[in-house]
Homo-oligomer: A and B are copies of this chain.
Amino acid sequence: MIETGELVLLISPEGKRYLRTLVPDTTFHTQDGLLHMSEAALAGFGAVVRTHKGKPYRVMRPTLYDCIKGVRRATTIMYPKEIGYILLKLGVGPGRRVIEAGSGSGGLSTALAWMVGDNGRLYTCEKRPEFYELAKENLERVGLVHRASRFNIDIADGFPEEARGADALFLDVRTPWDYLEQAADIICPGAPVGFLLPTVNQISDLLRALENSPFEDIEVLEIMLRRYKPVADRLRPEDRMVAHTGFLVFARHRGLDVQEELPHVEDVAEVPQ
């Protein structure tokens, strides 16, 4: 029995995939006829339901990978190979509060909202109204929009106050070096930040800006994924592959200044803990 509001991946006999949130007593108009969502709910994950024309559709529980693949895109979207690594480097996980700018088509937003859970929060900022809308729609389709605070703002004016003290921040904007001060101001001291940059010139520009910033522990890298044709007796890589999505840069806020006077345990013994 699938609960109302849960996300469902419907796979047609031809392998076409549809992501839908389960709303009982609704129907889904497939190419193969009508499909009753209540029937899908009752059948449960892993089951097969039939359209009114008798065509079998599989009911699957989508993975995060399925959700990212299902994003409708108006921009280049980040690939799972980058997103997975970003999650680890930013320490994303249940309960964390994460800021992202810009939202773009909402590919990374989907992953961040998925991983922070209902006790965490995603703050996603996007300047252009059309992407602001698109990211919202993509988050809605996968049932994750309630975990996101969305802002149609220009981060040049600062990040939203609501996001203050966030645990991590990711910038996928054209000139991230323009926003390092805003970034350092909004996150909690010591928090990790990440950047996606298509060109090497941008990496150089960002590295120069990071030198005079409160960020340290810098890592620059790229991730390549190569698929193989899954044929046991003629195993070989696929002929072509994606050669470049973007370069990833990571850094960590340096935290409070060492020069600052720090309280010692003796001095603070009376402070209630």
- Give A contacts to B, CB under 8 Å: 1, 24, 36, 38-39, 41-50, 56, 58-66, 68, 80-81, 83-95, 111, 114-119, 167-168, 188-192, 198-201, 203-205, 207-208, 211, 218-244, 247, 249, 252-253, 255-258, 260, 262-265, 268, 271, 273
Contacts and interface: CB of A to CB of B under 8 A. Distances in A.
- In order of increasing CB-CB distance, the 10 nearest A-B pairs are A46-B189, A84-B84, A63-B91, A94-B117, A46-B190, A46-B255, A241-B243, A237-B244, A207-B232, A220-B228
Nearest to A118: B94
B94 A94 contact: yes
A191 B46 CA distance: 8
B258 A81 contact: no
Given A93-B117, A207-B235, 8 more contacts: A61-B91, A93-B94, A115-B115, A117-B117, A203-B235, A207-B230, A224-B224, A238-B243
Oligomer copy total = 4
B221 A223 contact: no
Contact of A268 (B42, B61, B115, B225): B42
Contact of A48 (B58, B249, B260): B260
A183 B247 CA distance: 34
A112 to B, nearest CB: 11
A207 to B, nearest CB: 4
A218 B230 contact: yes
A206 B222 CA distance: 23
A81 to B, nearest CB: 6
A225 B249 CA distance: 13
Nearest to A114: B93
Contacts of A68: 88
